[in-house]
Amino acid sequence: MAEFAAGRVVVAGVELGPGGKAETPRRISALQARLPAPRRTGLLYRSAVACCVLSAVANAQPATFYRDVLPVLQERCQSCHRRGEIAPMPLGSYEEARPWARAIREQVLKRAMPPWFGESAVLRFSSDPRLTEEQIQRLSAWADAGAPAGDPRDAPPARHWAEGWNIDAPDVVVQMTKGVDLPASGDVDYTYVVVPTGFREDRWISQAEIRPSDRRVVHHAVVYSREPGSDWLRSAPVGVPFTARTLKDAKGQADAKWTDSDLLLVYAPGSLPDRWPEGLAKLVKAGSDLVFQMHYTTRGAAVHDQTSIGLVFAKQAPVKRVLSLQLTNDRFLIPPGVASYTAHVFGTLPGEALLLNLFPHLHFRGKSFTYVATLPGGKPQELLKVNWSFEWQMSYRLAEPMLLPVGTRLEAIAEWDNSRNNSHNPDPEAAVTWGEQTWQEMMVGFFDIAVDPSLDKKGFFAQRKR
């Protein structure tokens, strides 16, 4: 049976799909007691309040912006819909929201906004932004009433956002030392920039966010932590953008294709920054470098990008260390014209861990991505199925960590649509394999786990040999 390797998974020779009935995952007992109680954000906790508000509105007067709409926008929309963020229009004030009242009504009634593509019968997700039925009706009633402003004194306290960030104000911002000039057209090889942190002591990271200076050209970005003793990409220049092709030695070129260095954060359209609860953090050791891996696309005009990552330090040493791992299958061949083609990959956990987050990655032909867990002695249970959207590559953060005992088998199942019915398909006549460019395909199932703080990635996998 195939097992995890550090940073990737060897593909099994036999494809196995999920089977059996979904079982409720075993939750943390003593381990969970050591962590703070999870923040309750599920629909159950909001619906009663929203229902009371709606009852009062229905019995008194039409819904107004300041009393009924602004609280919903603050809670569920403004992380994207504010100035400088990814959404096309800000919704921070009445003047900004009023022209969009009918469009807001239309989008929330068909549940297109806020976006969410995950399905699970066994897990809840704190990153789930969907509105309750009461909130949907509140926004709809406001639009139907002519979008009245109401009394500004009814407004909730203004929500504070760190300037330019969705995390708290960073303790340090690490920027690519030199930006990248991108052409107007053509493919761009994966581009790397090595940036020294200058850290003189180990730093536990509780929050992190990647910020491209031009989001339009960033398909995805990955920032790795390279420890002082690592020989990964040591032949590459520091502070200067490079690609595998510009490196002269064979090892450097191979290093640009694969690594077992710690993954600090992944950025893709729709993904979330890291905001770990108290007691959880990632480690960047003293003297480490941050390695930016940039996948750029062209947009018809020459542009310049100089991506940054903001880091917030934990106030104390954590109870658990967060590691980012992945299930990767790079040995598939998608035939031309098929509407549904699947590939599988699985691995076995060598040690006990808490599952925190799931983050799948495919390209234009992606149709769905499924995570399945089989606990020792149990049946396969589907943790998450994502109906794939290339425009919204979202993070699926568990509301409560799930205990994965030693020997748990994790499986990822990807489905692609290479037919003409897929409007995003670059070429239905092509047979498609793994590749870096978006007209090729990928299959990566990232997942975040929490382990003993004394374990790094290599130490976690070394438990297999004991």
Q: Which carries the bigger pLDDT value, residue 143 or residue 79?
A: 143
Confidence grade of residue 60 (pLDDT, cut at 50, 70, 90): low
Q: What is the mean pLDDT of residues 270-288?
A: 95
Q: Crossing angle, helix 101-109 and helix 133-144, to 10 degrees?
A: 150
Tokens of 264: 């600090």
pLDDT digits (tens, 9 = 90+) for 408-419: 999 999 999 999
What is the pLDDT at residue 33?
Answer: 39
Q: What is the mean pLDDT of residues 336-341?
A: 98
Does residue 136 register a pLDDT over 90?
yes
Q: What is the mean pLDDT of residues 80-96?
A: 90
Count how many Cα atoms sit within 13 Å of the Cα of residue 282 in the half-sphere of its side chain.
Answer: 25
Bond into 148 cis (ω within 30) = no
Instruction: Give the C-alpha separation, 11 to 346, whole Å.
Output: 7
Closest CA to 307 of 221, 174, 212, 223: 212
Angle in degrees, CA 369, 370, 371, rounded to 5: 135
Radius of gyration of the chain (CA): 23
* Bridge partners of residue 396, in order along the sequence: 358
Contact predicate 412/344, CB 8 Å = yes
Instruction: Give the C-alpha separation, 337 to 429, whole Å.
Output: 6
Contact predicate 217/184, CB 8 Å = no
What is the pLDDT at residue 164?
Answer: 85
Instruction: Give the C-alpha separation, 60 to 50, whole Å.
Output: 15
What is the pLDDT at residue 269?
Answer: 84
Instruction: Give the C-alpha separation, 423 to 103, whole Å.
Output: 24
Does residue 79 register a pLDDT over 90?
no
Q: What is the mean pLDDT of residues 324-338?
A: 97
Angle in degrees, CA 334, 338, 344, rounded to 5: 45
In degrees rounded to 5, what are phi and psi of residue 69?
A: -95, -45
Chain centroid, CA 121 distance in Å:
20
Q: Which carries the bigger pLDDT value, residue 251 or residue 34?
A: 251
Confidence grade of residue 466 (pLDDT, cut at 50, 70, 90): low
Q: What CATH class does 4-28+165-465 carry?
A: mainly beta
Tokens of 375: 């606990």
In degrees rounded to 5, what are phi and psi of residue 56?
A: -65, -40
Contact predicate 416/441, CB 8 Å = yes
Amino acid symbol at 265: L
Confidence grade of residue 465 (pLDDT, cut at 50, 70, 90): low
pLDDT digits (tens, 9 = 90+) for 94-135: 999 999 999 999 999 999 999 999 999 999 999 999 999 999
Instruction: Give the C-alpha separation, 449 to 227, whole Å.
Output: 20
Closest CA to 138 of 63, 194, 189: 63
Does residue 26 register a pLDDT over 80?
no
Tokens of 161: 């956002």
Confidence grade of residue 264 (pLDDT, cut at 50, 70, 90): very high
Buried b (16+ CB within 10 A) or exposed e, 290-305: bbbbbbbebeeeebeb
Tokens of 407: 């020997």
Strands 218-226 and 262-267: antiparallel
Q: What is the mean pLDDT of residues 27-32?
A: 37
Contact predicate 268/309, CB 8 Å = no
Does residue 381 register a pLDDT over 90?
yes
Does residue 58 register a pLDDT over 50?
no
**Residue whose entry in the numeric block shows the structure tokens 């088998």:** 409
What is the pLDDT at residue 86?
Answer: 82
Instruction: Give the C-alpha separation, 191 to 36, whole Å.
Output: 39
Does residue 433 register a pLDDT over 70?
yes
- Give the Cβ contact number of residue 429 at 10 Å: 9
Closest CA to 264 of 210, 220, 320, 200: 210
Tokens of 383: 């943790």
Q: What is the mean pLDDT of residues 68-97?
A: 92
Chain centroid, CA 408 distance in Å:
23
Q: Which carries the bigger pLDDT value, residue 194 or residue 20?
A: 194
Does residue 402 register a pLDDT over 80?
yes
Number of residues in the chain:
466
**Residue whose entry in the numeric block shows the structure tokens 């799948």:** 360
Confidence grade of residue 1 (pLDDT, cut at 50, 70, 90): very low
What is the pLDDT at residue 20?
Answer: 35
Instruction: Give the C-alpha separation, 11 to 343, whole Å.
Output: 10
Closest CA to 355 of 391, 379, 381: 381
Question: For the chain, what is the mean pLDDT?
Answer: 87
Domain locations in the chain as residue ranges:
4-28+165-465, 43-154
Confidence grade of residue 278 (pLDDT, cut at 50, 70, 90): very high
Cα torsion at 278, 87, 296, 225 (round to 10°)? -10
What is the pLDDT at residue 17?
Answer: 34
What is the pLDDT at residue 366?
Answer: 97
Does residue 69 register a pLDDT over 70?
yes
Q: What is the mean pLDDT of residues 334-347?
A: 98
Instruction: Give the C-alpha separation, 154 to 70, whole Å.
Output: 10
Closest CA to 214 of 255, 285, 269: 269
Instruction: Give the C-alpha separation, 398 to 395, whole Å.
Output: 10
What is the pLDDT at residue 19?
Answer: 35
pLDDT digits (tens, 9 = 90+) for 146-197: 999 999 999 999 888 877 899 999 999 999 999 999 999 999 999 999 999 9
3-state secondary structure of 342: strand
